[in-house]
Each structure stands twice: as C-alpha cells, then as structure tokens.
Amino acid sequence: MASPIIAPSILAADFSKLGEEVRAVANADWIHVDIMDGHFVPNLSFGPDITRTVDKITDQHLDVHLMIENPERWVDHYVDAGADCVIFHVEATEDHVALAQHLRAKGVKAGFSLKPGTPIEPYLADLPHFDLVLVMSVEPGFGGQSFMPDQLEKVRALREAIDAAQLDTLIEIDGGISEKTIRAAAEAGCDAFVAGSAVYGKEDPAAAVDNLRQLATI
Ligand code: DX5
Ligand code: ZN
C-alpha cells in the first residue's frame, strides 16, 4: 500500500502565527483547509483569502474542505485561491457529479464529503467522477471532537467499491483522528487522514505528523 497521507487541519493552528504553524508541518503530505459558512455548519471559519495566504506560504497540496451551502457558487474562488483538491458536501448540492466535472475541467481534483448520518450507497456509482471521498467521523463544524467508530463501516463499503471497480479514488477521513484512532481507520481502508488537535495540540507538530504516519502504515 502507498504511504499514508497525513493532512493537518489549520483550523487547529494558532492564527496569530499562521505562517509559522504551516511551516511547522512541512513534513506533512497535504494541508487541510476547513471552510465553514455559519449555515451548513453552526460555525464560521475563514474563506478564500486565508486559503490564498496558505497557498503563498507553502507548496504543499491544499485540501480544501467546503462546509458551506451552495458550493457551486463559491468553488471557483477556492480554485483561484490555490486549492489542489476541492471537497464539497453532497448534502449541500443538487448535482454533485456536475460540480465534480466543473472542478476537474478547471484542473483541480474533486472530492465529496458526507456527514455521519448520510449513507454512502447512493453515491457509489458516481465514484469514477471523483478523485477523493472525505468520510466525516464527527459532525462537521468543530475541531477536537471524539471519533465515531461506526463511520468505519462507510470506509469499508467504499474500499470494497473502489477496489472492485479498480478506481484510484482516495478515501480520506476527518474528525477525531489521533494516535488512538488512526490505525483502525487505516485498517478499514483509508488513504488520507485529517488531524487537527492531534497535530497542533502537540508540543512538536512535525513529530506528531511522523508518528501518525507511522501508526497508519500497515
Ligand atoms: C471538522 C473539520 C475537521 C477538524 C478536525 O468540522 O472538518 O477538519 O478540523 O479536527 P480534529 O482532528 O481536532 O477532530
Ligand atoms: Zn475538514
């Protein structure tokens, strides 16, 4: 199996020193950027300007997670801001396949995400249109919540469907990933792992990234 992808979430970073915080995880594979609009989720984070700032700080792959209503209205702003992959929620859009096609035509990767209560089965046939599926293992909106182990059923169903169809769609998991939970997520079939508090809550974020990667290596 390919080396696990570790994606620190800057939502958990100290914004008074964002540049330093991003550079502190230079050994991470991706940087996860959480966009919240105060409508789709009961919290507000930041938008395209901070995304662009992060893109200027680093050459790392920017994994942009849109927890917003009407993602079709906003995706181009995030593409222009330097997103490498734009992930939107299927609960927030009418036509997830059309939005994925739009993103791919713009030259960025397309991902969809599901809240814990949203089943994966209706979306399995659409996987060829997507580079990534982001499984939420907490209710989206806040960092620092507890991992929901029942979401690994969704990961297993995805792994089976992706392998059976010989697709290279990546499975990413987001919420409550830590040194205690990452191995179970890796064993269920995840390729990429978002970690906020388990990276930025540590004295040495770079060491936390390396440790998580090692624990996720099967
Ligand atoms: C939650 C966000 C997550 C969050 C993860 O809505 O999508 O990316 O920052 O934080 P931790 O790893 O602390 O659960
Ligand atoms: Zn996220």
C-beta of 43 in contact with ligand 1 (< 6 A)? no
C-beta of 115 in contact with ligand 1 (< 6 A)? no
Bridge partner residues of 118 (DSSP)? none
Determine the CATH number of domain 5-216. 3.20.20.70
Predicted confidence (pLDDT) at residue 133 exceeds the cutoff of 80 = yes
pLDDT grade, residue 211 (50/70/90)? Answer: very high
Atom number of ligand 1 nearest to Cα 11: 9
Measured distance CA(21)–CA(130) in Å, rounded = 30
- Please report the pLDDT score of residue 55 as a whole number: 98
| Residue 129 among known ligand-binding residues | no
Mean pLDDT of 108-128: 98
- Please report the pLDDT score of residue 1 as a whole number: 64
Q: What's the mean pLDDT when you consider all of the chain?
A: 98
- Please report the pLDDT score of residue 175 as a whole number: 98
With pLDDT > 70 as the criterion, what percentage of the chain qualifies?
A: 100
Tell me: the pLDDT tens digits for 155-185? 999 999 999 999 999 999 999 999 999 999 9
| Residue 144 among known ligand-binding residues | yes
Give the residue numbers marked as catalytic: 34, 174
Measured distance CA(84)–CA(63) in Å, rounded = 6
Predicted confidence (pLDDT) at residue 16 exceeds the cutoff of 90 = yes
- Please report the pLDDT score of residue 2 as a whole number: 85
Tell me: the pLDDT tens digits for 71-111? 999 999 999 999 999 999 999 999 999 999 999 999 999 99
DSSP string, 114-138: E-TTS-SGGGGGGGGG-SEEEEESS
On whether the pTM is more than 0.75, the answer is yes
